[in-house]
Chains A and B, each alone.
Chain A
Amino acid sequence: MLKIVFNNMMRRKLRTALATLGIVLGVTVLVSIVSISTGMTQQSLDALGKLQGIQVIKKGSMDPVMSSIPIEYADEIKSMTGVQAVSKQVWVWATSIEGPSEGFSLSSFFTAVLGVEPSEMGLIKSSYSASLIKGRQLEAGDRYVTVVGKDVADEHNKRVGSNIEINGVDFKIVGIFHAGSRFIDSQMVIPIDIAREISGFPNDRISMAQVEPENPEDAQKLARKIELRMDDVDAKTQQEFSEDIGELLGTMKTVQWLFSSIAAIVGGIGVMNTMIMSVMERTKEFGMMKAVGWTNRDVMKNVLLESIVIGTIGGVIGLLLGFIGSMAINTMIGGLAMVTVELAMESFIFAVALGALGGLYPAYRASKLNPIEALRYEG
């Protein structure tokens, strides 16, 4: 039976290839999209786990880099009850590290430069100090020195003691941290005055105030109190970030679902189309198979098998391409896409199911062919 299936597929190589291509396309799209979003999810969850305290930024800004609030807010928050410590931070786009980056690179897209007050860093729990793996923290009196994330150090081949150029200014690396999250490990920490100096960020403003509550359980309440007191800020706790990310993930799921459906339709229709044509073309053959004793079910199975084989081949190739694609994404932007075993299995099953589904109707048609009509000699 398989032999018949393969022979037929080979006989119409181009058409089989096209049907397979539909499935390949579907699976490739599926694998790449899901692998990226799985990777992103993993990264965000990692980062979230590392987040500490409350982040106070300008209301409505998506990222500290785009936020600016009056510096007095930091002192005002500090004076509130329940606040242990506040760290003032100035966030700067890293527009150029070791010279302007050529073209778009997502790793530099993630890279942020944080200006902090070294004396304040000891007071708050921070993922940077917690995950220092080499060298030391920033200290009072430091000027053009930086503590960088491991990803930055790795990408530019730097170690403690090396110089690194940030937005045209040379800094000396005194420490390296490794938090295990792509978002955090692409950051660089420098003294806040220097951050102002290289970016022109005004002295009377900061990007963000990181607040350490006396009691972590009260974080949520404290955040609300801060927002009440200063009505132009967002104060977010780790939990609230989780909720935000949860929403984002929900959106990603929808997008994934959308793409998978498109992939399914493209792949399924491709197979169905091929199989219908193939069945019509072989009307005579199926008629003859029935005349020599094949049952309707035999004929049906034969056609179904053919489309399942197409699905399987398409699945394997698509998986391979999707895998290569996500590896390419990874080398381009670094460790973002993740192809999990589940994803591989799911998309493979998806492909086989597509093949089967696409073959269902043609198989039914073939099984219902009237052998006499099929055999009637028209010559």
Chain B
Amino acid sequence: MIEVKHVWKKYNPGMKNEVVALKDISLNIERGEFVFISGPSGCGKSTLMHIIGCLDNPTRGEVYMDDVKVSSLNDGELSKIRRDKIGFVFQAFNLIPSLNAMENVMLPMILVATNKEELRNQAKTLLEAVGLGHRLKHKPNQLSGGEQQRVTIARAMLNDPEVILADEPTGELDSKTGEGILKLLKKVNKERGTTVVAVSHNMLTKKYCDRHLKLKDGKIVR
């Protein structure tokens, strides 16, 4: 489903401060897989996630989403892919502070949805699914870290995406809450068949993943 072919990523190429973040990465992610990526800080995990998530272009190499060459798409098409096929969950919970939980979940579709009532219902169902049925109208600052992360997972699930990309989803959480989030991701992966790619330092993730990739200095070492 997602094919990464010989991807290189250089920051500030040709300059003194050039950083080679990814070195010839090739990777196939199958539909319904739960992939766990670990590695020391600075080894290129986030960079890889951004490239898979169509947020950034590789310096060399190609990424294919459902056999579509990502580098051939324009800004609008990339936005649409991010909206419909990809769900992001980041370490910093990344919610809009002025919107409540429901509205945050609706955010990706809030401008384009023709049926707002249906969208609202979807958001509600998703929040219930992540165990936040009782926090629909709460603003992010009224929610705990774990709850906020559940809201971002609900948001990531909104368009029933093919893949959820989670970059250190438990990084800000205590281990118990963190495990709750991992369980939730696993549940989504199992019940909906959504592909999950999770970057984490949290070795508990191993317990839930189908495949564990280790990254070091921009290379996959296993």
Contact = CB atoms under 8 A, between A and B. Distances in A.
Interface stretch (A131-139, A148-156, A371-379): A371-379
Interface stretch (B96-104, B126-134, B180-188, B214-222): B96-104
A45 interface: no
Contacts of A294: 79, 83, 108, 111
A142 to B, nearest CB: 78
A295 B107 contact: no
14 contacts: A3-B103, A7-B99, A10-B98, A11-B97, A291-B55, A292-B88, A295-B79, A296-B75, A372-B56, A375-B55, A375-B90, A376-B46, A377-B92, A379-B92
A1 B46 CA distance: 30
A60 interface: no
Contact of A291 (B82, B168, B172): B82
A7 B107 CA distance: 14
Interface stretch (A72-80, A108-116, A248-256, A281-289): A281-289
A282 to B, nearest CB: 9
B130 to A, nearest CB: 16
Given A11-B97, A291-B82, A1 B90 contact: no
A298 B76 CA distance: 10
B83 A292 contact: yes
A297 to B, nearest CB: 8
B90 to A, nearest CB: 6
B142 interface: no
B94 A375 contact: yes
Contact of B82 (A8, A11, A293, A372): A293
Given A4-B96, A291-B82, A298 B56 contact: no
B55 A292 contact: no
Given A298-B111, A377-B91, A285 B96 contact: yes
A293 B79 contact: yes
Nearest to A1: B111
Given A371-B55, A372-B56, A375-B90, A293 B98 contact: no
Nearest to A296: B75
A10 B99 CA distance: 12
Interface string B136-169: 0000000000000000000100000000000010
Interface string A258-297: 0000000000000000000000000011001111111110
Interface string B74-87: 01100110111001
Interface residues of B, number: 30
Contact of B107 (A10, A292, A372): A292
B83 A293 contact: yes
Interface of B: 46, 50, 53, 55-56, 75-76, 79-80, 82-84, 87-88, 90-92, 94, 96-99, 103, 107-108, 110-111, 155, 168, 172
Contacts of B103: 3
Contacts of A379: 91-92, 172
Contacts of B92: 284, 375, 377, 379
A375 B91 CA distance: 10
Nearest to B97: A11
Contacts of B111: 1, 294, 298
Interface in A1-57: 1, 3-4, 7-8, 10-11
A1 to B, nearest CB: 6
A371 B51 CA distance: 12
Please give me the 3 A-B residue pairs with the lowest Cβ-Cβ distance, nearest first: A293-B83, A7-B98, A292-B108
A295 B75 contact: yes
B138 to A, nearest CB: 14
Interface of A is mostly: helix
B90 A377 contact: yes
A289 B107 contact: yes
Q: Select the residue from A3, A288, A291 with max chain B CB neighbours within 10 A.
A: A291
A4 B168 CA distance: 28
A4 B99 CA distance: 7
Given A3-B103, A372-B55, A291 B88 contact: yes
A284 B94 contact: yes
Contacts of B168: 377
A293 B80 contact: yes
A17 B187 CA distance: 47
B145 to A, nearest CB: 12
Contacts of A298: 79, 111
Contacts of A291: 53, 55, 82, 88, 94
A290 B50 CA distance: 13
A7 B84 CA distance: 26
Contacts of A288: 88, 94, 96
Contacts of A292: 82-83, 87-88, 107-108, 155
Nearest to A284: B94
Interface in A279-332: 284-285, 288-296, 298
